[in-house]
Structure 1
Amino acid sequence: MRWPRQVMSLLFVLLLLTGPPAVLVFVVGPPVHGWPDGQQVRAWVQQPLTEQTVVAGLTIAAWLVWLLLAYTVTVRVLARLRAGAAWLRRMPLPTPLQATASGMAGAAVFTVAANTATTTPPQPALPVAAGTLDAPADPADLDPYGSVRGDDGIAVSGGWLPREVADQIAAAAALVWLRRRLAYQPHPPGPPAREDRDLVPLPATACAVQAALTNHPPPADTGEGPPVGMPALVSGLPATGVGLSGPGAAAAARGLLVTALLAGRQHSAVSLVVTHTALARLLGPSAEALQRHLPRLTVVSGLDEAVHVLESPTPSDGSHGRDEPQPGTSAAVLIIEEPPTDAADRLAASPAASAVVVVALGGWPARTTWQVDTTGHTRDPHRPGWAGPRLCVLDAIAALDLLTVIAHTNPPAPTPPAPNPSPPVVRSSGWRVPRQATGHDPLRRPDAPGRPLQLRVLGDPKLIADGQPVTIRRTAAMQALVFLAAHPDGADNRQLVDALWPGLPRHTLTNRLYTTLSTLRGAVRAACGLAVIDHTDDRYRLNPAHLDVDLWRFHTAVQHAATALTEPATAWQTVIDAYPGDLAAGRAWPWLDPIREATRRHVIDAHVALAAAAPDPHHALTVLQHGLLVDPYNADVHVRAMNALAALGDHQAVDDLHDTYTRRLGEAGLHISDEVRDTAARLSSATVPGR
């Protein structure tokens, strides 16, 4: 229990504040009795060190020490009071509705009979911090459209996403990195600091969603839910069309953009049609650059063109080999800026009307109108007391972040349109692949036999002291340790907070960061009595004098391989041997992806270079097969392995490797590249004469 220790501390402080003054006043007395006259001053100048002057000096020094102590205690007390006052100001107070409901419930407790059961209405959810997971609602608490009334989603700095949408965003973000791994073209080994353009981190909103879901895996699929092709939030919209009004209308329309496009990735039957003016209103000038890379999005000039597009068999291109929609399962969402008048009748008479949900940005007197607040909650002014589904709401920045991620999950078009053939550049959170330790850094030598601590971050991260792993109880503390190992130049408070808790307000996380680092320091100090984290120049760094980090030794080997003039094959093999596994394997921290992929690419480069210099095809094949274990998704390594197998005459193995690779990509939601497909067809056993 902490209160006895706190009471003793308070008594000790009170004793320090009251004891010395009492002793000085009642035992020693005042240091001087009035101002000295001229004769006393002359006597003091002639003989300054007398018993009386020494006692007076010591008494004055004691009073000064006590005043310094009293000042320190006063400052600490005032700081605690200010912090408490700030906490009280931030503490959410009950709304009038909550206060009334609480009062009624309390009155009912004292007035009803003992055997009477009372049920209080559910309280409105309190705001949550950005990048956090809301508590799931009771599945039985459903509205007439089948949507859950409670909060079950992710709050980010730019809005709120339902859990279903957040899970799909996390899957899309993972798919972006898998696609980058697939498309990487190995090149001769170079220095540790890579400049690959596709190693830019994902946007901040996507990272916040990933971080919020790290410790909350998606629930098991029970086979229940909305019809195929329409996610819950789309199927919950009125089939006759809906107008969105209120302060959250535009944010809800942006959320609907993201929701429908994510549904289109999963189901080829779902498409999104939006007018040019509505898209510009929602996303601003960035909309035009993005729309080229969102194949399930069709932008039309007006409602007439929208009707023509919706009546066509394939309203938008971009299925990319997915199954064709089955009859009766196709669905489309049409977003327009203003409610249609006479055009609504033409749309209703269209053959595609039964599969189209029209959403208008504004009130729609002829149809249903939902008022949307800034948190996504909806209500119908014509149905008092009815609470509609909570919609995904996003501001323009968050929506562009998520749409950029969705755009990067699509394979490049065979003939990209001019003048912007490349996908839009991902808006980086500010981090680049850091400068790594090299052999020229005197502080980070490759071998450190005298260092008592070993930090292993390649593979399962662990800190080892005297051969035993150090227990680090906080997950954030281990993450901070790995982050500092990946950034040997150090990081300041802002960079650490953004990496460990992306999407959360920085000013609310200072104490959490200090607690995390204090826990880490305490665990290391208890294990070996050393301090492994230095804090100088407002930056945190790992102390290389006390710590041996395998990642630093790996990059020393990479630097040596890039500059080796003799025996390069030995240097490349050293790089391969220094890589036991992925950086922080099994961890899903969003900041890891760029650095993890850069580290993996160094190893792939070493495998390809070593295979190219192999003295015989058997050795080359062995090296390439090991490279496939390092990255089983890279297309270039698969092509090289197929050529090596064909050179050895094992054409059946080429077919088996192609089939395995195709199946692996299909399970991940990817499609095999034309280069791999053509190579397999050229080297297949079916094309070999006599087979």
Structure 2
Amino acid sequence: MTMYGLRHPLLVRTAAGAALTGLLAGIPAILLIFFWPIDLPTFDDLATPGEPIVIKTLLLATVWTCWALFALAVTVELVGTLRAQRSQVRLPFQRLAAYLITTITVAATAPIAAPRALIPAAAIAATSTEIHDHPATAALDKGEAAKPYVTYVVQSRDTLWTIAEKQLGDPMRYRDIIALNQGRTMNDGRPFTQGEWLQAGCTLHLPADARKPEPTRLRTHTVTSGETLWGISKQHLGKGIQYKKIFKLNKGRPQPGGTRLTDPDVLEPGWRLILPKHGRATQKTKSVHRRTLQRHAAKPTHRTPSSHHSEDPPSFRTSSSPLATETEPSSRDIAPPHPATGTIALRPVLNPASPHPPAEPAPQIPRPAAVATSAEVVMLPQGGMMALSFAAGIAVALAATRLHRRRRLPAPTIDEPVSVLAPEPQSPAVRVLEQAHRNSDPEAAPPDDFELVSSAFEIDPPVTLKAGMRNDDPVHLPLSGLNLALTGSGADDCIRAIILDLLAQADAHRASIIIPIQDAERWFGATITTLTNHLPELHLTATLDEAINHFEEQLVGRRGLLQDYEANDIQQLRQAEPGEPLPALLLATCCPDGHPYLDTLLTMTAHLGLGAVLTGHSPSGTTCELDQNHHVTEATGPMATELDNVTLFHLPPDAATSVLHTLATGNGMPTEHPEQLADLPIPPPSTTPQPVRFTLLGEPAIDVRGTPVDLTRRTKALELFVLLALHPKGLDREEICERLWPDLEETLASYRFHAALKDLRTALRDASTPDDKKAHFIERSGKTYRIEPQHIDVDLWSFHQALAEARTATNAQEKLTALETAASLCLGQLCKGLKYDWLDQDHRWPLTIASIKALLQLGALHEHAGHDERALEIYDQACALDPDMESAARSTIRLLTTLGRTDEARQRARQLKARLNALGVTPSPETQTVLKQLNGPSNPPYRL
């Protein structure tokens, strides 16, 4: 507890009580002792306002009036506190009164050093969790759909009459509740008996037609001609000034026709705009909605499991990715890791409406009964299990890492040798998570890094937490008011998963996590202290007391804000003041025997966006006993029903450390990875013309003596061709099967390999002339398969050969000729449009970086030679290949400025500004220097 520097609860209680007593009793005592009786001024005195007696009387009247208003405010706050309801009356000094009473209430109910066994049972029974009020919390799990009842957690001051009125629509139906619960053993161990007091936190069975929360749906608006963001905001949100919310939600999102919203003043007909979840309804609208709920409260409703985009994330500090939001569960199932490779297998499920079975069914592999598998789960090779939405957050972090490195890559000097570098190795857990995200939508085209990161920005803080799986259904827990304790052999792994899942969504002040440093090192190792500068929403405190102090300050501050904005909960407050930083706050710590004071604080967080998760026991929260498979074997407390028989998400230490490092690099943390060359071993050039031309740079294309060969229907044949082209020395069959069919058993994978090889050879021979039909095209030497260079010309090999000649050139002209050859081959990114996991992670971006460095070096050579127009063409080619590399855009702007073509330079600067703004980053110092030259005295100013 902290109040102006005081930390001990007894001191805080004394200080707050003394302040309140002094204001209520001290002021009138002083006035009565020193200024009583009051000498009232006469009419003659009033005629002269400057008389001392008049001034004295006015001052006394002012003091007495202020004291009376403060006393009335204290009375109103006391009544509201006793009734557990926010007061609707607004008076002067009410903020001060609310602060003092809140402080006294918290301190007075907190045991100073009482052991867990001495905490009064009445204090625990009076806890109000109120988790059922949140729309994201389901009252009925899918696995319980067949039960003739739903569950309800009793709140403070609940009666059977009020529960029947709120949940069933008819207070007289309290008899139905009695009939369902008569004789049941409640959470406190006593049987339910008619006439006994209801205990807060106990779980009641209600009839199956009890009111259930409505599922969250995404609200959209289609723009028509003449509409503005102001008018749309006024129509849907009640106020035109709220247009900024709509602009933030839709900024940079792809629209029909390929355009994007970048200017709030420019809208095009046909655009689909996402609207904020809730508008500010008028009182009349609220009354109508309330009456509608009352009329339909007794009617049964049906829930369909759906994803909730607000809690999934990621940003690359940890935003959540919209690519995995607001979608129905995929029709693919995820198999356990392969015993040898540790990779996951996506098993297609037969669609009754589809006339064709899936092409490549995966074999059924037995799995432990305690581990749930679903389309929303990713099984990690090191033994972890996480939600698919978490995989989306890791994919965004990896994309942000690549963007950051490419964006700040310096332009090479003229003499610098340009080579293709090997990518930084990834841990198995991170690699599997990225693959799972890419495979989550097999029909969608692979998004580039810019689209993945820019579309992942989310402004709404997460509301719920994906805790685990029951059978094939995800289990969500509300973050606001969360009081969850885990104990058992698997508790630490589950705590890691909860922390990292929230940290992946912590960008843009969406979430904040507090951990005492000793607990953080226990869960993530000593290296976590070096990562905090690049994880701004992760706060490490020296001690548990400091963590609780910070938690309490947030609690008191948010209660004051609710009072100021007349809001009932944190959701209303965020809507009333969107600029106020109110992230979801989670305290994670280790308390083997519980912490009485923290437990008292948690009883007041149900509507404040605060929660806590700990290893140990929680007196008034929910405590779960876990086995070694992270399965809840026993649960007690308010959320026992929700967590019973659930397998919680979990991460082992090594996987958690690698994921944490990935999130930090996504926020710009540099890595010390030694550079390793990855240039291809080019086979000797053929002495005869090659009939087959295989183009990989850009969209892949195959032609045999000018005749195109289409392999779009033979997808594995094309993938095999690409894989062998990237390994000119060849690969053996096992290596090929491991990359192309990692989830299949060896015999079946070998069968698929030979089928793909036959398809590839058949397609090439069918398009060949009679003289070429005898060629194998793919030759075998022992166990190694490779492309025959005498029959197939691969542009990628020619590109690597040109880079090698540029590195060994003895003069500028030789280097210029070699780099021109390389530039003529750079028609786009490697295999543009193809979606191969091994291609993206190991080959595509290293080759793109080498290509742009070669183009920038070639442009610099042309500048030195005075060929400015050719240099501009080369720089434009580099910008088209990767618009996110600042060195390429900077070279173009600099050269245009030097040539006096300021209009074109400003246009390029605007394009650079738009992309940087979409990523939320600032230009590098080198780019800022070039822009200052553009804004020089001889040029009209242009500012980013």
Q: Same fold (TM over 0.5)?
A: yes
| 2:438 paired residue number | 214
Structure 1 403/240 Cα, relative in aligned 2: closer, same or farther at 3 Å?
Answer: closer
8 Å contact kept, 1:379–1:387: no
CA distance, structure 2, for counterparts of residue 384 and residue 352 of structure 1: 17
Structure 1 252/676 Cα, relative in aligned 2: closer, same or farther at 3 Å?
Answer: same
The residue type paired with residue 208 of structure 1 is V
After TM superposition, the structure 1 = structure 2 runs for residues 190-205 of structure 1, keeping only pairs within 5 Å, are 193-195=419-421, 199-205=423-429
Q: How far apart are 1:344 and its partner, in Å?
A: 1.1
Structure 1 475/149 Cα, relative in aligned 2: closer, same or farther at 3 Å?
Answer: closer
| 2:344 paired residue number | 131
Q: How far apart are 1:543 and its partner, in Å?
A: 2.8
8 Å contact kept, 1:154–1:209: yes
Greater relative contact order, per chain length (Cα 8 Å cut-off, separation 6+): 1
8 Å contact kept, 2:492–2:523: yes
8 Å contact kept, 1:452–1:547: yes
More helix per residue: 1 or 2? 1
CA distance, structure 1, for counterparts of residue 869 and residue 719 of structure 2: 41
The residue type paired with residue 255 of structure 1 is A
Q: Deviations over 1:255-275 (max 9, x none)?
A: 12221111113x423112222
The residue type paired with residue 829 of structure 2 is D
Is residue 785 of structure 2 the alignment partner of residue 543 of structure 1? no
Structure 1 373/653 Cα, relative in aligned 2: closer, same or farther at 3 Å?
Answer: farther
* SS of residue paired to 1:517: helix
Is residue 854 of structure 2 the alignment partner of residue 606 of structure 1? yes
CA distance, structure 2, for counterparts of residue 370 and residue 687 of structure 1: 71
Is residue 501 of structure 2 the alignment partner of residue 268 of structure 1? no
CA distance, structure 2, for counterparts of residue 437 and residue 151 of structure 1: 41
| 1:92 paired residue number | none
8 Å contact kept, 2:419–2:679: yes
CA distance, structure 1, for counterparts of residue 920 and residue 732 of structure 2: 38
| 1:256 paired residue number | 498
8 Å contact kept, 1:272–1:296: yes
Q: How far apart are 1:659 and its partner, in Å?
A: 2.3
Q: How far apart are 1:175 and its partner, in Å?
A: 2.0
| 1:459 paired residue number | 698
8 Å contact kept, 1:470–1:524: no
Structure 1 181/533 Cα, relative in aligned 2: closer, same or farther at 3 Å?
Answer: same
Q: Deviations over 1:232-280 (max 9, x none)?
A: 4277246241112344322222212221111113x42311222223223
* SS of residue paired to 2:827: coil
* SS of residue paired to 2:890: helix
Q: Deviations over 1:498-536 (max 9, x none)?
A: 54466x5xxx54234423321221112323154344444
| 1:487 paired residue number | 727
* The 10-residue stretch of structure 1 (376-385 or 352-361) with the greater mean CA deviation from structure 2: 376-385
The residue type paired with residue 457 of structure 1 is L
Q: How far apart are 1:354 and its partner, in Å?
A: 3.2
Q: Deviations over 1:270-293 (max 9, x none)?
A: 112222232233233544444454
* SS of residue paired to 1:394: coil
Q: How far apart are 1:299 and its partner, in Å?
A: 2.0
CA distance, structure 1, for counterparts of residue 598 and residue 757 of structure 2: 66
| 2:817 paired residue number | 570
Q: How far apart are 1:597 and its partner, in Å?
A: 2.5
The residue type paired with residue 207 of structure 1 is R
* The 10-residue stretch of structure 1 (370-379 or 451-460) with the greater mean CA deviation from structure 2: 370-379
Q: How far apart are 1:577 and its partner, in Å?
A: 0.1
Is residue 469 of structure 2 the alignment partner of residue 233 of structure 1? no
8 Å contact kept, 1:181–1:634: yes
The residue type paired with residue 613 of structure 1 is L
* SS of residue paired to 1:460: coil
CA-based RMSD? 4.2
CA distance, structure 1, for counterparts of residue 807 and residue 632 of structure 2: 60
8 Å contact kept, 1:277–1:337: no
* The 10-residue stretch of structure 1 (235-244 or 580-589) with the greater mean CA deviation from structure 2: 235-244
Aligned partner of 1:660 among 911, 925, 928: 911
8 Å contact kept, 1:154–1:161: yes
Q: Deviations over 1:591-619 (max 9, x none)?
A: 33442223223322232222222214343
Structure 1 268/240 Cα, relative in aligned 2: closer, same or farther at 3 Å?
Answer: closer
CA distance, structure 1, for counterparts of residue 582 and residue 731 of structure 2: 52
Is residue 551 of structure 2 the alignment partner of residue 299 of structure 1? no
Structure 1 311/362 Cα, relative in aligned 2: closer, same or farther at 3 Å?
Answer: closer
Structure 1 386/294 Cα, relative in aligned 2: closer, same or farther at 3 Å?
Answer: closer
Ranges in structure 2 where 5+ consecutive residues have no aligned partner: 1-142, 147-304, 306-332, 338-342, 350-371, 445-451, 468-475, 556-576, 766-772
Q: How far apart are 1:494 and its partner, in Å?
A: 5.9
* SS of residue paired to 1:161: strand
* SS of residue paired to 2:500: helix
Structure 1 331/205 Cα, relative in aligned 2: closer, same or farther at 3 Å?
Answer: same
Structure 1 359/463 Cα, relative in aligned 2: closer, same or farther at 3 Å?
Answer: same
| 1:174 paired residue number | 399
Structure 1 325/589 Cα, relative in aligned 2: closer, same or farther at 3 Å?
Answer: farther
Is residue 720 of structure 2 the alignment partner of residue 468 of structure 1? no
CA distance, structure 1, for counterparts of residue 937 and residue 443 of structure 2: 45
Aligned partner of 2:799 among 554, 559, 564: 554
CA distance, structure 2, for counterparts of residue 613 and residue 214 of structure 1: 40
CA distance, structure 1, for counterparts of residue 810 and residue 546 of structure 2: 65
The residue type paired with residue 453 of structure 1 is V
| 2:522 paired residue number | 281
Is residue 838 of structure 2 the alignment partner of residue 591 of structure 1? yes
8 Å contact kept, 1:149–1:390: no
8 Å contact kept, 2:461–2:511: no
Q: How far apart are 1:155 and its partner, in Å?
A: 2.2
8 Å contact kept, 2:893–2:908: yes
8 Å contact kept, 1:485–1:542: yes
CA distance, structure 2, for counterparts of residue 602 and residue 690 of structure 1: 35
Structure 1 178/273 Cα, relative in aligned 2: closer, same or farther at 3 Å?
Answer: same
Structure 1 309/589 Cα, relative in aligned 2: closer, same or farther at 3 Å?
Answer: farther
Q: How far apart are 1:372 and its partner, in Å?
A: 4.5
| 2:584 paired residue number | 331
* The 10-residue stretch of structure 1 (351-360 or 333-342) with the greater mean CA deviation from structure 2: 351-360
Paired residue total: 524
After TM superposition, the structure 1 = structure 2 runs for residues 100-111 of structure 1, keeping only pairs within 5 Å, are none
Is residue 625 of structure 2 the alignment partner of residue 392 of structure 1? no
The residue type paired with residue 579 of structure 1 is C
* SS of residue paired to 2:711: coil
TM-score w.r.t. structure 2 length?
A: 0.49
* The 10-residue stretch of structure 1 (531-540 or 562-571) with the greater mean CA deviation from structure 2: 531-540
Q: Deviations over 1:433-470 (max 9, x none)?
A: 634144xx42x44x751x33332222222444452315
Q: How far apart are 1:177 and its partner, in Å?
A: 1.6
Q: Deviations over 1:554-609 (max 9, x none)?
A: 11111122222352322221110012211111234343344222322332223222
8 Å contact kept, 1:160–1:375: no
CA distance, structure 2, for counterparts of residue 606 and residue 150 of structure 1: 46
* The 10-residue stretch of structure 1 (640-649 or 156-165) with the greater mean CA deviation from structure 2: 156-165
Identical positions, percent: 24
8 Å contact kept, 1:190–1:559: no
Aligned partner of 1:344 among 576, 598, 612: 598
8 Å contact kept, 1:186–1:601: no
The residue type paired with residue 480 of structure 1 is L
CA distance, structure 1, for counterparts of residue 792 and residue 688 of structure 2: 8
The residue type paired with residue 131 of structure 1 is I
After TM superposition, the structure 1 = structure 2 runs for residues 398-477 of structure 1, keeping only pairs within 5 Å, are 398-412=655-669, 422-423=670-671, 434-438=678-682, 441-442=683-684, 444-445=685-686, 449=689, 451-466=690-705, 467-471=707-711, 473=713, 475-477=715-717
CA distance, structure 1, for counterparts of residue 581 and residue 899 of structure 2: 52
CA distance, structure 2, for counterparts of residue 384 and residue 569 of structure 1: 72
Structure 1 653/376 Cα, relative in aligned 2: closer, same or farther at 3 Å?
Answer: farther
After TM superposition, the structure 1 = structure 2 runs for residues 629-644 of structure 1, keeping only pairs within 5 Å, are 629-644=880-895
